[in-house]
Amino acid sequence: MKILVTGGCGFIGSHTVVELLNKNYEVVIVDNFYNSKREVLDNIKEITHKSFGFYEADCCDETAMRKIFKENKIDAVIHFAGYKAVGESVAKPLMYYQNNIDSTLILVKVMKEFDCHKLVFSSSATVYGSPASLPIQEDFPLSTTNPYGTTKLFIERILTDIAHADNEMGVVLLRYFNPIGAHKSGLIGENPNDIPNNLMPYIVKVATKELPQVNVFGNDYDTIDGTGVRDYIHVVDLALGHIKAIEKIKDTAGVLIYNLGTGKGTSVLELIETFARVNQVEVPYQITDRRPGDIAACYADPTKAKEELGWEAVRNIEDMCQDAYSFVKKVKNL
Ligand code: UD1
Catalytic residues, by residue number, are: 148
Q: Are 17 and 29 in contact (CB under 8 A)?
A: yes
Nearest atom within ligand 1 for CA of residue 228: 30
Confidence of residue 8 (pLDDT cuts 50, 70, 90): very high
What per-residue confidence (pLDDT) applies to 29?
98
Centre of ligand 1 to C-alpha 16, Å, is 22
What per-residue confidence (pLDDT) applies to 211?
96
Is there an atom of ligand 1 within 6 Å of 261 CB? no
Is there an atom of ligand 1 within 6 Å of 268 CB? yes
Centre of ligand 1 to C-alpha 37, Å, is 23
Mean pLDDT of the 205-213 span:
97
What per-residue confidence (pLDDT) applies to 191?
81
The domain limits of the chain are 2-183+232-261
Q: What is the dihedral of CA 216, 217, 218, 222, to 10 degrees?
A: -100
- Provide the angle, in degrees to the nearest 10, between the axes of the packed helices 11-22 and 39-48: 30
Percent of the chain with pLDDT over 90: 98
The pTM (predicted TM-score) of the whole model is 0.98
What per-residue confidence (pLDDT) applies to 194?
85
Ligand 1, atom 35, residue with closest C-alpha:
198
Q: Mutate which of 86, 152, 204 to test ligand 1's pocket (most atoms within 8 Å of Cβ)?
A: 86
CATH number belonging to the domain at 2-183+232-261, selected among 3.60.21.10, 3.40.50.720, 3.30.230.70, 3.90.1300.10: 3.40.50.720
What per-residue confidence (pLDDT) applies to 302?
98
Is there an atom of ligand 1 within 6 Å of 293 CB? yes
Is there an atom of ligand 1 within 6 Å of 215 CB? yes
